[in-house]
């Protein structure tokens, strides 16, 4: 089993060298790919000097875009994804790979609540986890962790769904659950950021994306699990309000009518969304098993032998 370690990095010159060296120490046969996402410092050269194969974006395209670039270029059968800021301990990677051998297609490194950077992020991640657990019917311990191991061929099936920003872990986790691929969660330790490293997530800028991610989680898995209860609440509210107005004014009001119509519209929207989601995943199944299905190393991938540095594992 060939392993490729993907490390997206942006302005992480202070930490990336130690991260790459740590990976090479615990996984000496692995290919290490660092995707430099438009850094303005020496991230690329520091990663290259530590022994990584480096791909550079001409400008910042986002964490998810960096992961997609690395996944297309990776030569491994299994991808291990981790951050380049030193928070993820490379020594934990073999535990993820060991769990993957237990019959799973994705193993997520689950952080404890105390490891979250701020109280607001703890609250947001707790809500994500609860919603994902409700949607999937399985306990989801950490929906947003960027430390994970996954089978490369199955990960590439969903590249078109992944956003370019920081919500790619949420999207890929829900996509695997929806496709029926087994997912496991393994508790991992998380350290503080390395000195000189900083987060690129801004609460004010990214806070508005919170609800969008929530709806994305819902629509990726089963939209009716969100739309049907909402429609039921509106339907019940319509009849309760009608009971009140009939008892006090002996008439059916416009508000009751509006609530009833809205409940029907919301339910139909959920039904249509459910059908679209089913068609989306059905299309992926047909594409994967059809006569013209592309192999895992289709266009966009690059074997180590074809790289300009002549690369082998770790280059």
Q: What are 31's strand-pairing partners?
A: 4
The two three-digit tokens of residue 263, written as one number: 């409940």
The two three-digit tokens of residue 287, written as one number: 């594409």
Dist CA 68 CA 26 (whole Å)? 24
Residue 5 DSSP SS3: strand
Q: Which single residue is written with the structure tokens 């190393």? A: 297
Residue 149: alpha-carbon gap to chain centroid: 12
CB 210 within 8 A of CB 126: no
Q: How many other CB atoms are there within 10 angstroms of residue 185's CB atom?
A: 22
Tens of each residue's pLDDT in the chain, 315 residues: 899 999 999 999 999 999 999 999 999 999 999 999 999 999 999 999 999 999 999 999 999 999 999 999 999 999 999 999 888 999 999 999 999 999 999 999 998 766 655 677 778 788 888 888 888 888 999 988 999 999 999 999 999 888 887 778 988 998 899 888 999 999 998 875 555 545 545 544 555 666 677 677 777 777 888 889 999 999 999 999 989 888 888 888 889 899 999 999 999 988 888 888 777 766 555 555 544 444 444 333 344 443 434 444 444
Dist CA 164 CA 67 (whole Å)? 9
Contacting residues for 129 by C-beta, under 8 A, at least 6 apart: 140, 141, 142, 143
At residue 281, what are phi and psi to the nearest 5 degrees? -75, -30
């Amino acid at each position: 089993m060939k392993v490729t370690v993907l490390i997206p990095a942006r302005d992480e010159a202070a930490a990336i060298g130690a991260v790459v060296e740590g990976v090479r120490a615990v996984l000496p046969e692995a290919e290490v790919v660092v995707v430099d996402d438009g850094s303005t410092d020496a991230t690329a050269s520091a990663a290259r000097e530590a022994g990584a194969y480096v791909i550079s974006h001409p400008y910042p395209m986002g964490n998810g875009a960096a992961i997609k670039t690395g996944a297309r270029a990776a030569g491994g059968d299994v991808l291990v994804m981790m951050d380049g800021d030193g928070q993820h301990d490379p020594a934990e990677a073999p535990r993820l790979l060991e769990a993957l051998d237990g019959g799973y297609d994705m193993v997520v490194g689950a952080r404890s609540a105390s490891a979250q950077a701020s109280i607001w992020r703890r609250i947001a991640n707790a809500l994500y986890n609860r919603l994902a657990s409700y949607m999937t019917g399985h306990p989801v311990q950490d929906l947003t962790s960027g430390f994970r191991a996954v089978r490369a061929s199955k990960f590439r099936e969903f590249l078109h769904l992944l956003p370019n920003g920081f919500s790619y872990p949420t999207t890929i986790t829900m996509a695997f659950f929806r496709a029926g691929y087994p997912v496991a969660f393994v508790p991992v330790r998380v350290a503080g950021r390395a000195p000189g490293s900083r987060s690129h997530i801004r609460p004010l800028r990214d806070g508005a994306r919170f609800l969008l991610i929530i709806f994305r989680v819902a629509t990726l898995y089963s939209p009716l699990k969100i739309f049907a209860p909402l429609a039921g609440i509106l339907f019940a509210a319509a009849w309760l309000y009608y009971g009140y107005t009939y008892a006090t004014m002996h008439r059916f009001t416009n508000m009751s009518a509006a609530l009833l119509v809205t409940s029907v519209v919301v339910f139909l929207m959920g039904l249509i969304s459910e059908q679209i989601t089913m068609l989306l995943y059905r299309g992926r199944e047909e594409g994967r098993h059809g006569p013209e299905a592309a192999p895992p190393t289709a266009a966009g991938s690059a074997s180590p032998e074809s790289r300009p540095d002549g690369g082998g594992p770790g280059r």
